[in-house]
């Protein structure tokens, strides 16, 4: 059982924006279990917002590169201790070297990349005097009749790779298709979807959302059949938050991502599929 310290209470408050006393009560009730305390605050409707609990305070940069023929894309996140070091030319050059190595070798395991770049890695640590870490990497090889776009946002704080496929090769050359792919990259950067489709959401994640709703004040004393019917809408709302294809389009919230994909299909006369994406946010898991 963890001791409920002021630091722990403040951490919960930062995660939820709930009041200090409410946070203290929740942590006391759960024996200092942060995840369980967040759940209690959500059930009581006291959590104004819940940030990702796995958020870490890391500085660094996310960079992306593409091969000359546009068939291969790479993205990497490299961390350091301070924002000052992250903005230096030496650190930026090392981060680009890491991304170039991912592009050329296909390696995405941080440990393998660190071993491959042993000498420049030791050099950057020596130059900066800080703990430098290759956090993660992604490597995409473009499928036939598909387009990949990379997007780096906020000066390297957020990075996106997204691949979209069409039925016909000529569709890739249309303005409508290119605009769709670009809009999807912006959407992923801004709205931070965790999954592509609702079918990808783990069953335990959905059940946890249902349990929180069942235990909330909103449904206390309500008949089970009414609660279960209401849960369908709650789950659909959850999908609209975490699944790319269900999200409202950031440029026009009255439309969903499904709507803009269908509009592009109509404009091109072709079947279009979002095949995969990856989003890195600096310091987040």
Q: How far apart are CA 52 and CA 54, in angstroms?
A: 5
Average pLDDT over residues 167-184: 98
pLDDT of residue 14: 72
pLDDT of residue 50: 56
Token look-up 């091109």 returns: 268
Ranges of each domain in the chain: 6-43, 56-141, 142-201+243-285
Mean pLDDT of the chain: 91
Measured CA to CA in angstroms, residue 102 lies from 6, 98, 106, 169, 214 at distances of: 43, 6, 5, 27, 46
Look at residue 131 and give its three-state secondary structure.
Answer: coil
Report the alpha-carbon angle 71-110-155, nearest 5: 65
Q: How far apart are CA 92 and CA 100, in angstroms?
A: 12
Residue pLDDT, tens place only, 114-130: 999 999 998 998 898 88
Copy the structure tokens of residue 13: 């408050």
Asked if the domains at 6-43 and 56-141 fall in one CATH topology, the answer is no
DSSP characters over 192-205? --SBSSGGGS-HHH
Instruction: Please state, for a pLDDT cut of 90, what percent of the chain lies above it.
Output: 68
pLDDT of residue 135: 94
Look at residue 80 and give its three-state secondary structure.
Answer: strand
CA 164 to chain centre: 18
Please state which architecture CATH assigns to domain 142-201+243-285.
2-Layer Sandwich (3.30)
Query: Does residue 68 surpass a pLDDT of 80?
Result: yes
Average pLDDT over residues 140-166: 97
pLDDT of residue 95: 97
Please state which architecture CATH assigns to domain 6-43.
Orthogonal Bundle (1.10)
Residue pLDDT, tens place only, 210-223: 998 888 888 888 88
pLDDT of residue 43: 83
DSSP state of 133: E
Are 85 and 73 in contact by the 8 Å Cβ rule? The answer is no
Q: Can you give the pTM of this predicted structure?
A: 0.79
Domain 56-141 CATH (choose: 3.40.50.720, 3.30.479.20, 1.10.3720.10, 3.30.70.990): 3.30.479.20
Residue pLDDT, tens place only, 20-34: 788 889 999 999 998
Q: How far apart are CA 73 and CA 64, in angstroms?
A: 7
Q: How far apart are CA 241 and CA 195, in angstroms?
A: 10
Q: Which of 17-31, 38-52, 166-180 has the highest mean pLDDT?
A: 166-180
């Amino acid at each position: 059982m963890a001791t409920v310290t002021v630091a722990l209470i403040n951490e919960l408050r930062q995660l939820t924006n709930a009041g200090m006393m409410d946070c203290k009560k929740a942590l006391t009730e759960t024996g200092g279990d942060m995840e369980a305390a967040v759940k209690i605050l959500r059930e009581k409707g006291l959590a104004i917002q819940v940030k990702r609990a796995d958020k870490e305070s890391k500085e660094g940069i996310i960079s992306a590169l593409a091969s000359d023929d546009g068939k291969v894309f790479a993205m990497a996140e490299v961390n350091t201790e301070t924002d000052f070091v992250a903005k230096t030319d030496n650190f930026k050059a090392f981060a680009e070297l890491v991304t170039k190595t991912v592009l050329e070798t296909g390696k995405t395991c941080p440990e393998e990349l660190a071993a491959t770049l042993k000498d420049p890695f030791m050099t950057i640590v020596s130059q900066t005097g800080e703990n430098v870490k290759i956090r993660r990497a992604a490597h995409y090889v473009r499928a036939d009749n598909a387009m990949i776009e990379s997007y780096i946002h906020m000066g390297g704080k957020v990075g996106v790779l997204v691949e979209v496929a069409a039925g016909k090769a000529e569709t890739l050359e249309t303005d409508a298709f290119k605009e769709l792919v670009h809009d999807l990259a912006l959407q992923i950067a801004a709205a931070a979807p965790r999954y592509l489709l609702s079918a990808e959401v783990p069953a335990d994640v959905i059940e946890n959302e249902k349990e929180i709703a069942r235990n909330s004040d909103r449904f206390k004393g309500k008949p089970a059949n009414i609660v279960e019917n209401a849960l369908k809408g709650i789950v659909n709302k959850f999908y609209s938050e975490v699944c790319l294809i269900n999200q409202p389009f950031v440029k026009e919230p009255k439309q969903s991502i499904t709507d803009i994909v269908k509009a592009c299909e109509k404009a091109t006369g072709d079947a279009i599929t979002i095949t995969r994406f990856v989003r890195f946010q600096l310091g987040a898991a």
